[in-house]
Amino acid sequence: MKLGNYVQGSWTEGKSNFASLYDASTGETIAEASTEGIDFGEMLGYARTIGSPALRKLTFHERARMLKALALHLNSKKDQFYKISFKSGATKIDSWIDIEGGFGNLFTYSSIGRRQMPNTPHYVDGNYVPLSKEGTFGGHHIHVPKEGVAIHINAFNFPVWGMLEKIAVNLLAGVPAVVKPATLTSYLTEAVVREIIASNILPEGALQLICGSARGILDHVESQDVVTFTGSATTGKMLKSHKNIVDYAVPFNMEADSLNCSILGPDAKPGTEEFKIFIKEVAKEMTVKAGQKCTAIRRIIVPENYIEEVHTGLKERLGKITIGNPATDDVRMGPLAGKTQQKEVMEKIEELSKCCNVLIDGREDIKLISGDKEKGSFLSPTLLHCPAPLTSSAPHDIEAFGPVSTIMGYKRTEDAITLAKLGKGSLVGSIITGDDDFATEVVLGSASHHGRMMVLNKDSAKESTGHGSPMPQLVHGGPGRAGGGEEMGGMRGVFHYMQRTAIQGHPTTLSKITGVYQPGAAQIESDVHPFRKYFEEIKVGDTLVTGTRDITKEVIDEFADLSGDHFYAHKSDSDFEGTLFDSQVAHGYFLISAAAGLFVDPPKGPVLANYGIDELRFIKPVYVGSKIHVRFTCKEKINQEPREDEVPRGVVKWQVDVRDEEDESVALATILTLVANKPN
């Protein structure tokens, strides 16, 4: 079978120079891949001119719904992906992480787009910044989609997750993608992309695929493009130094394999729940995906006096792992992805053995329950011990990208921290301890060298996602050897594909540009009460100036009795000497309640409910005898996704500016209301 490349709206095969792809368990040829004859310059140009405009005109909510539809479609086809995934050496659990974990990223970013981002093509960042004395000039920040293409160069170990975790982010941002999976397992990526294209969910040009070599593609990148790379640090450095990347300052995000560690706390003695958790977690990270994970535990850092027990515990647990063809029931660990990978890992074990003792040698007597030992790429779990970890560099420099890990001991907490940092930058480090003081010291002492740190104890382990599982809501990446990049991270990841721009001008102008009311902007008053307007009829800047209300001693006392809040400042007989107040003051919460009494229009109408309150501030004391009024202004409008059996509606944010008789603000708040859409 010849794999297809999806280029400029159609599937095409390479012309020559095909690379053969093999079943990792049997050695059988399963596909051929080539990109010969593809013009990468035209491919990227197609994404910029066709895919980019189509995505940029959509709002975040529309892009988010697109991701959800895509996730649902792919999930309905998952059984066919599992069958293909077995050929890569992935077990059912390995495939679940890769396939359904990838779908999970689509679902997560769909939720982020619909719940945390506006229903606009751009994003308003932070708060208005006044830049002038009279308030006629200020600034703000917006994010807009880059007008280029995201080029994703992925590793072989996660052919589905590796693609979907990246494109979920760039598609939500409004940027098209060209995906280049590692050729070794590109047959699974190709199967998923075929379903994506067949679904017709994405706009044309939003996604293109290269199966085979992409040599020369960086010759065509431009300043609006973004390049991401997952793989070896050596290859990443070479790509990062490409002339176009440097000359055009093209953002380059690198996630490189790293020597991640897991640290056992001194309190987690053999026999404790934390010790059992540690053994389970290390063994899992050594065997899931046959240890071929960029987040796998390579360095096992334990108190010196627990080394023997850790060795015994891991030997017992690893000895129960059944190895073979993942298509066979009861197989718990499959082969490495290919013969080249197998040979490389064995060579790394040999290098490490020069300064480490081999406790469990996975190269010897590999017992299979299925698969071909000669033609397949099998390797059993291998465990080493480094007797001098503070002075031996090899365990901190050499990574065997397979089921291989090294135990190293420490005497003091500061030694554990030093060992963790000797990896020169890691994607993840974990700490298994019931001692929060130890956890705090290790996290704060070594966080500078890690992209993520996880603390496990008996209270969190049951629901933990585990050492090796990056979550789309949090950043994935790491400093130094790990590449110095960041992926995912919720909205943080989306902004990697957008341009943050400072905008300056009059508040009214900035309100128009951002779609969000800015302090000092023109306010639109009309004879129609804002609560009489449907969602579509309300405009940002619509303002109601209310009548006044007298603040008397009686209403303050009544509110104190009703609420039970008898704080001294709200009592007339208090001694106010040395306080912030001159005499009895009104409760801040009374002011907000009284404000509602001034601006609320009571009869049934388009306003369905109060949805909440944000950013409440009490600015100036209000004493007995004061008069308050409210300037009630539409600050922002947010469309809500229509739901079955519910009134179609949106959220309107209102600025509540409570003012006194001197027309000075005494309280500010943002309230949210659910407002019905205008009937069709």
Q: DSSP per residue over 623-644, as a string?
A: BTT-EEEEEEEEEEEEE----T
What is the phi-psi region of residue 99: left when phi exceeds 0, alpha when psi lies from -120 to 50, beta otherwise? alpha
Q: 3-class secondary structure for 248-302?
A: CCCCEEEEECCCEEEEECCCCCCCCHHHHHHHHHHHHHHHHHHHCCCCCEEEEEE
Cα–Cα distance list, 558 to 241, 268, 475, 549 (Å): 71, 57, 51, 15
The pLDDT assigned to 231 comes to 85
DSSP 355-403: TSEEEE-TTSS--BSSS-TTTS-----EEEEES-TTT--HHHH----SS
Residue 125, strand partner residues: 141
Which of 282, 265, 302, 320 shows the shortest CA–CA distance to 405?
282
Catalogue all structural domains in the chain, each as residue range(s) with its CATH number. Answer: 41-254+492-499 (3.40.605.10), 260-470 (3.40.309.10), 523-676 (3.10.129.10)
Beta strands in 154-217 (DSSP E): 177-180, 207-209
Q: Is 554 exposed, middle or buried (0-12, 13-18, 19+ CB in 10 A)?
A: exposed
Dihedrals phi, psi of 201, to nearest 5 degrees: -80, -40
Using DSSP's 3-state secondary structure scheme, residue 649 falls into strand
The pLDDT assigned to 601 comes to 87
Q: Which of 255, 274, 399, 487 is catalytic?
A: 255
Q: Examine the residue annotation and report whether 261 is marked as an active-site residue of this protein.
A: no
DSSP 434-484: S-HHHHHHHHHHHGGGEEEEEEE-TTTGGG---TT---TTSEEEESGGG-S
Tally helices (H) and strands (E) across the chain: 19, 28
Tokens representing residue 266 in the block: 């001194």
The pLDDT assigned to 646 comes to 81
Which of 77, 76, 98, 102 shows the shortest CA–CA distance to 86?
98
Residues 6+ apart with CB under 8 A from 490: 112, 116, 472, 473, 474
Residues 6+ apart with CB under 8 A from 246: none
The pLDDT assigned to 191 comes to 95
The pLDDT assigned to 605 comes to 87
Using DSSP's 3-state secondary structure scheme, residue 583 falls into coil
Which of 163, 187, 188, 182 shows the shortest CA–CA distance to 105?
163
Distance CA 573, CA 569 (A): 9
Q: Examine the residue annotation and report whether 634 is marked as an active-site residue of this protein.
A: no
Q: Which of 211, 261, 294, 386 is catalytic?
A: 294
Which of 43, 406, 326 shows the shortest CA–CA distance to 210?
43
Dihedral sign, Cα of residue 501, residue 502, residue 505, residue 507: positive
Where b means 16+ CB within 10 Å and e means fewer, 287-303 reads bbbbbbbbbbbbbbbbb
Distance CA 556, CA 571 (A): 8
Tokens representing residue 448 in the block: 């500078």
Tell me: the pLDDT tens digits for 372-382? Answer: 988 999 999 99
The pLDDT assigned to 680 comes to 78
Query: What is residue 160's DSSP assignment?
Result: T
Sites in the chain below the pLDDT cut of 50 = none
Tokens representing residue 148 in the block: 């280029």
Query: What is residue 2's DSSP assignment?
Result: B
Using DSSP's 3-state secondary structure scheme, residue 203 falls into coil
Which of 24, 20, 28 shows the shortest CA–CA distance to 2?
20
Residues 6+ apart with CB under 8 A from 663: none
> Residues 445, 321: contact at Cβ < 8 Å?
no
Share of the chain above pLDDT 90, in %: 77
